[in-house]
Amino acid sequence: KPVLLWLRQDLRLSDQAALTAAASEGPVIPVYILDDESPRQWAMGGAARWWLHHSLSRLDESLRDKGSRLILRRGKSVDVLAALAKEVGASRIHALHHYEPWWRNAEKAVARLLDLCLHDGGLLLPPGAVRTGAGGMYRIYTPFARAVMEHMPPPPPHPAPAHIEAPTQWPKSESLESWALLPTKPDWAPGFAKDWTPGEKGARANVANFLDEAGDYPTARNLPSIEGTSRLSAHLHFGEVTPAYVWHRVESSGHDATIFLKELIWRDYAHVQICELPTYGSANARTDFDRLNWRDLREAGPDFTAWKTGRTGYPIVDAGMRQLWMTGWMHNRVRMIAASFLIKHLLIDWRHGARWFWDTLVDADYANNSVNWQWVAGSGVDANLFTRIMAPLTQSDKFDAADYIREWVPELADLSDAVIHDPDAHGARASNYPAKIIGHREGRERALEAYRRSKG
Ligand code: FAD
């Protein structure tokens, strides 16, 4: 009797506990379901779909190398799995835990109908493995990180099974092309392939490349002009590589990797938060923020468009927003600057920004995106103060973003390091580059005033 392997954000064969368990039991039918129904408003965004297409295609190749293949189906997960199990005579399903609220609901629904075995492996530690003295989940990052560190290193990653037994007859698979995951009219992703190699092999190659640079990470990670970070976020989101694998490789590189490893712990932290508060993506974690009077998009619409299209007149913000559009990724420091500018200088609700990121990031991740947006807004459980307002022009200078701006805002490419961060102030603005849509001081004061009023 075959067993089903339900793949989601775990598109790999190594260190895949669900696959290992399934393969030890007999013939395996690996299935990926394109499910836009369970997540509803959180159905995968455009850039992530681009990634998914390539990742699934690579996964099918790797499965074929092992005598297996990937079955593709579309629909609501529980319905598809129930129908497929009936069709092939399976009653048992292996899968990894996923913590997005829609996946947890889907798991519950599947477990009511079939024998669902869930395994760990997408995080360094499953949520709940470390708890506060009072027995609750950690809500603050620093003590959480300290507690996680005590359990590290994670268990060593295990290899992919040498062979995966095929069923006597394969069920029908839909074709990947019929899912139309790649943009066509227009193709807004022509630059993506240059930057990214989705799939397990690409993920591992990225880890290997990063090892040489891991020693510089503590300073390099803040400089958008250089490639100072691992660029593993989408690989980790789609589960092409596990954080345990990354941990072991980086730790054995001989560099002091503590700061990098703590970023991996941020990822675990964010997932714990969405378990505690499943609405993290759509509701303020601190409800006092519900009283903040954001600008109405009917009035602020042109400013929102300027932000999305990289035409705010703030070079560092515009460079970030254009990098996002062109490559599906943005440097972390610039994500913070661009998000802060939207929330505070433009006084636009963080949820609108988070939505735009959801659609445009190849690494769009419900936990990481929601927790980071709320961190910047100040409305998160553990967050920056709303009143601590980032000065984008100072940040740009401090973190040496001149080359980064030249790359993404070609209108300003001829400007010197001294003026490129704030061409307006030096009378050096190119004629085809917009003036600032709001002054720094003006934006700051409006934000502080709105905040004061929300406090009544
Ligand atoms: P590295 O610096 O090399 O870090 C290694 C890994 O650690 C990352 O791949 C990521 O998995 C994890 N990590 C690093 N920083 C964070 C963080 N602050 N929070 C959680 N995990 C982290 N990250 C996403 O994966 N998906 C998102 O949708 C997302 N949205 C964000 C929105 C905003 C407003 C901000 C400020 C940050 C967001 N981040 C998100 C976090 C962070 O910016 C990215 O994980 C990082 O830039 C990815 O690049 P990297 O892989 O080179 O990171």
User: pLDDT tens digits, the chain, 456 residues: what are they?
Assistant: 999 999 999 999 999 999 999 999 999 999 999 999 999 999 999 999 999 999 999 999 999 999 999 999 999 999 999 999 999 999 999 999 999 999 999 999 999 999 999 999 999 999 999 999 999 999 999 999 999 999 999 999 999 999 999 999 999 999 999 999 999 888 888 889 999 999 999 999 999 999 988 999 999 999 999 999 999 999 999 999 999 999 999 999 988 899 999 999 999 999 999 999 999 999 999 999 999 999 999 999 999 999 999 999 999 999 999 999 999 999 999 999 999 999 999 999 999 999 999 999 999 999 999 999 999 999 999 999 999 999 999 999 999 999 999 999 999 999 999 999 999 999 999 999 999 999 999 999 999 999 999 998
Token pair listed for 22 = 């399934």
The annotation status of 59 as a binding-site residue, yes or no, is: no
Q: Which of 201, 57, 404, 121 is nearest to 209 (CA)?
A: 201
Return the SS3 of 3. Answer: strand
The Cα–Cα gap between 235 and 223 comes to: 22
The Cα–Cα gap between 245 and 410 comes to: 39
| Active-site residue, 408 included | no
Residue ranges per structural domain of the chain:
1-121, 122-154+200-276, 280-454
State whether the beta carbon of 221 lies less than 6 angstroms from ligand 1: yes
Instruction: Please give the number of the atom of ligand 1 that sits closest to the Cα of 339.
Output: 34
As assigned by CATH, the class of the 280-454 domain is: mainly alpha
Q: Taking CA 324 as the corner, what is the angle to CA 40 and CA 102, rounded to the nearest 5 degrees?
A: 20
> In whole angstroms, how far apart are CA 220 and each of 12, 331, 403?
29, 11, 14
State whether the beta carbon of 343 lies less than 6 angstroms from ligand 1: no
Provide the CATH number for the domain formed by 1-121 in this structure. Answer: 3.40.50.620
What secondary structure does DSSP assign to 304-330, as a single string? HHHHHTT-SS-HHHHHHHHHHHHHS--
Domains 1-121 and 122-154+200-276 share a fold: no
Architecture of domain 122-154+200-276: Alpha Horseshoe (1.25)
Expressed in angstroms and rounded, the spacing between residue 332 Cα and the centre of ligand 1 is 6
State whether the beta carbon of 454 lies less than 6 angstroms from ligand 1: no
pLDDT at 106: 98
